[in-house]
Amino acid sequence: MSVLGSLGLASGKSSMPSYLDEFILTIARLRAPDGCPWDREQTHATLARYLLEEAYEVLEAIHLDSPPKLQEELGDLLLQIVLNSQIAKENGHFDIETVARSINEKMINRHPHVFGDSKLNTADEVVTQWDELKEREKKASNEIGSAIDGVPRTLPALMQALKVSERAVSQGFEWNNIDEVWEKLDSELAELKEAIAAPAGDNRRRNIDLELGDVLFTLVNIARWQDLNPEESLLLATEKFKERFKIMEKLSAQPLKELSKEELGNLWLKAKAALLNAN
C-alpha cells in the first residue's frame, strides 16, 4: 500500500504511483549500495542538524508569506523525514509506512469529535480534549513522571519555556488574570535590577543570569496569555530590526560606526519612517 493509501487519502482511481511514492523510491535508491556516497554515510545523528535547519527555513518561509518558498522548504523538510525513515528501515526499526500509519492512528484517536461520537464546538475545547487523551495514553502505557516531562531540551529556549508553561497550566498552575502576570513581570524586573546593582562577587553573574531568565520566562507567559508564540514574536522583531538597520546603512554617507549616538538615533528614526511609508 502507498503512503497515501496508509493515510486513507488514496482515491483508488489510478494504479500510478504518487509523487510521494516516487520520492520514497528515490531516497531508497540514493541509499542503495551503488547510490550516493554522501547519502549512504548519513545517520540519524548526522542528519539532526539538517532537520533543525530545514524546520527553521520552513518557519522563515511562513513569515515571508511566500507560498512558492514554503512549498520548497516543506519539500526539504520532507526529505529529512523520508531519509531518516529509510535509515531506520535499513536498521530494521521502522519505515515511512509505519511512521504514516502511527501518526494517522494518533490523529484519528485524538479527534473523536471528528471520527467518533463526541461533539466539540471551540478550538479551546479541542485543546483540552487533546491534553486529556494524551494523559490517558500515558497512563495506559504506564509512563509515570511529571506533567512537565517530555519537553525536548533541544527546543529553542523560548519555545521550551512556552511548552513547560503550558504543561504547568494544564495542571491548574495558572494566574487568575493578566494583571497578576504584569505584577509578576514588575517584580522580576526589580529583582533583575537589584542583581545587576549588587557589588562584584562570586555569584553575581550567576544571579543576574537567573533573574534575567525569570524576566524572560514571565514574558513568555504574557505571550501565552495573548495566544502568541514568543519564538515567532522575537523572530519578527529581529527581522524588523534588520530591515531598519539596512536602511540606516543605505541612508548614511559614512560607516555607521563613525557616527555619533545622536546621529545614529536620528538615522534610526528616518529608517523607521521610511519603512512606515513603504508599508
The beta strands (E) that lie in the chain are given as: none
Q: Confirm if 76 and 54 have CB atoms less than 8 A apart.
A: yes
| Predicted pLDDT of residue 11 | 42
Residue for cell digits 527553521?
Answer: 56
Fold classification of 3-109 is Helix Hairpins (1.10.287)
| Predicted pLDDT of residue 14 | 52
In terms of phi and psi (left: phi > 0; alpha: psi -120 to 50; beta: otherwise), the region of 251 is alpha
| Predicted pLDDT of residue 3 | 46
| Predicted pLDDT of residue 184 | 98
- CA-CA distance, 196 to 184, in Å (whole number)? 18
Q: pLDDT tens, position by position, for the chain (279 residues)?
A: 444 444 444 444 456 679 999 999 999 999 999 999 999 999 999 999 999 899 989 988 998 899 999 999 999 999 999 999 999 999 999 999 999 999 999 999 999 999 998 899 999 899 888 888 888 887 777 776 788 888 888 888 999 999 999 999 988 999 999 999 999 999 999 999 999 999 988 899 999 999 999 999 999 999 999 999 999 899 889 989 999 999 999 999 999 999 999 999 999 999 999 988 877
| Predicted pLDDT of residue 15 | 60
| Predicted pLDDT of residue 197 | 96
Fold classification of 147-228 is Helix Hairpins (1.10.287)
By CB neighbour count within 10 A (0-12 exposed, 13-18 middle, 19+ buried), where does 215 fall? middle
Q: What is the pLDDT of residues 92-112, one digit of tens each?
A: 999 999 999 999 999 999 999
- CA-CA distance, 233 to 236, in Å (whole number)? 5
Q: DSSP state, 265? A: H
| Predicted pLDDT of residue 132 | 85
With H, G, I as helix, E, B as strand and everything else as coil, classify residue 179.
helix
| Predicted pLDDT of residue 12 | 45
